[in-house]
Amino acid sequence: MLKKIGIAVAIILVGIQFVKVDKNEAAIRDIDSFVIDTKANIEVQNILAAKCFDCHSNKTAYPWYAKVAPVSFWINHHVEEGKEHLDFSNWSNYKTKRKKHKLEELVEELEEDKMPLESYEILHGDLTESEQKLLIDWAKATILSY
């Protein structure tokens, strides 16, 4: 019985590898207008690139395990949901009011320690306190500049 279940699970695991997942892989990470518009300096850009753009831009740097189903389904769900809420690659299409609101949300998410998602932090690490502060200061200054 156990052997049969084992075989069935193996067949399912192999089978789901063929299910197509829509990857978030544009040729370039399109963040130029966002960087200019929010005056994100290189430090801010580096932190966002390391901890946020994977789920909030048009290009995810997929680690190898992200290619293996069912992990790929789960990661892509996070990416799709993340982008739906906030897409830095789509920044130029946001109206000023929306930009401000998104940056306010960003401050809130960081102050409440909600981003990056916990599951992401396991392998990518959390923001350090100084990184968190840098992002919050930049976001607040940008909100005031609009």
Calculate ∠ Cα 130-106-71, nearest 5°: 90
The residue within the footprint of ligand HEC, chosen from 24, 54, 58, 72 (CB under 6 A), is: 54
* Angstrom distance (rounded) from CA 29 to CA 69: 25
* Neighbouring C-beta atoms of residue 145, cutoff 10 Å: 10
Contact segment (CB under 6 A) with ligand HEC among 1-9, 13-21, 32-40, 115-123 equals 115-123
DSSP-assigned states of every residue in 52-67: THHHHSSB----GGGG
Q: Which of 24, 40, 44, 51 binds ligand HEC (CB under 6 A)?
A: 51
Contact status: 109 vs ligand HEC (CB under 6 A): yes
Q: Which residues contact 116 (CB under 8 A, 6 or more apart)?
A: 51, 52, 55, 124, 126, 127
Binding mask 117-136 for ligand HEC (x = CB under 6 A): x--x------x---------
- Select the span of 1-9, 18-26, 65-73, 114-122 touching ligand HEC (CB under 6 A): 114-122
Q: Does 66 bind ligand HEC (CB under 6 A)?
A: no
Q: How far is the CB of 2 from ligand HEC (least distance, A)?
A: 35
The DSSP secondary structure of 94-141, one letter per residue, reads: S-HHHHHHHHHHHHHHHHTT--S-HHHHHHH-PPPHHHHHHHHHHHHH
Question: Which residue in the set 73, 85, 113, 118 belongs to the binding site for ligand HEC (CB under 6 A)?
Answer: 85
Q: Judged by CB under 6 A, does residue 31 bind ligand HEC? A: no
The reply on whether position 105 binds ligand HEC by CB under 6 A is: yes
Q: Which residue has the tokens 């200019």?
A: 36
Residues of this chain that bind ligand HEC (CB under 6 A):
51-52, 54-56, 78, 81-82, 85-86, 102, 105-106, 109, 115-117, 120, 127
